[in-house]
Structure 1
């Protein structure tokens, strides 16, 4: 089973930058998108063979937003985490399958000078509690743009970015708290020492060409699924956004 997550930074723009070709070539079983920046009714394109689920921002159109496309029809789909303060920005979709929940998230950015850090911290706590509740029912897979580089190895210039949005002590601490609830960072679990592996690059300073990036897009897997993790990949060669897709390959359940 192949699962893909990609912050497309505007799906309509990405459609013209190779998204349909990528989807056809990669043919994932499920693909989760973040920062779609659109409402479903604005889509003038189709994805044959996929059930489509959209969670768009209602507080500010053309902002944030997530989507989940699945070849298998989920048993149920929910939008948001049940907190009005966070659910208006279209940041979370949960799809239930027979043996796991798949949750895609676009975690709020703390913004320059950490102006939104309090909102971010409150979201982190609420989201973690939501996932823990799901885990009581069946294993959970979480994917998306989580807007944090966890360790020094996860960004090109860690020392100069300490305290900045995405690499603050507060954000990294919340990520550690989430992992401590029984989740594996699948890429780092398989490749603990692999450096220069990034999923986002600034559009400035020729960052992508120089691989001056950050690993802020993740697949987290419930520890109970550890024996099913076949591979976790960063598809850094795929263009179309300032992020690249990340991928999780699961073995069939024994």
Structure 2
């Protein structure tokens, strides 16, 4: 392994489920010798990519956040989308999300929520399978057909009994999004929630998608006009 690959493995050891790790835990997760792990972690901490807590555990440092904020698909998009996301959030008081497609996954670039909104697993910077989310289905509906074929040919992660894993059914859902312009993901990630998504376009085509996450018992169609209006507003701002 190259030094770069080892460094990336160290950073990749940190996840939502394990945001803080000891040197020993990093060594076990990466398969690197403890001495190598100690050297790499020390260099990363010195640069600011990792931070050491008083407990001795390490966390991702602010320097990485600064670098990540420079990603062009996140910054410009987020800045132009925020007024519309905030309006949608203010009107509905539900979770509002903005995401982009990265292979078979979506990456969330923004999320607005309140303490009394239905619980969700996502946060800004997190990833989810495109096939199980409202934003993901909206993006797949306008993605390159070869990418869609590759995504549907791969195993699909199941989150709940309602998660759609059958390729033929997923293809039908994607086709329905193309027809209606709206993506519905009902209890696929959590049984307590569902999402209503819509694509966002710039002058070149679909570049992102937004969604609102609402309780499972809510009527998703009552939120469709607001979601579509927000998506159109962001699209106009991007163009």
User: Normalising by the residue count of structure 2, what TM-score does the alignment of the two structures yield?
Assistant: 0.32
> Which of structures 1 and 2 has the bigger CA Rg?
2
Which structure: greater helix fraction? 2
Q: Which structure has more RCO (C-alpha within 8 Å, separation ≥ 6)?
A: 1
User: Normalising by the residue count of structure 1, what TM-score does the alignment of the two structures yield?
Assistant: 0.30
Which structure: greater strand fraction? 1
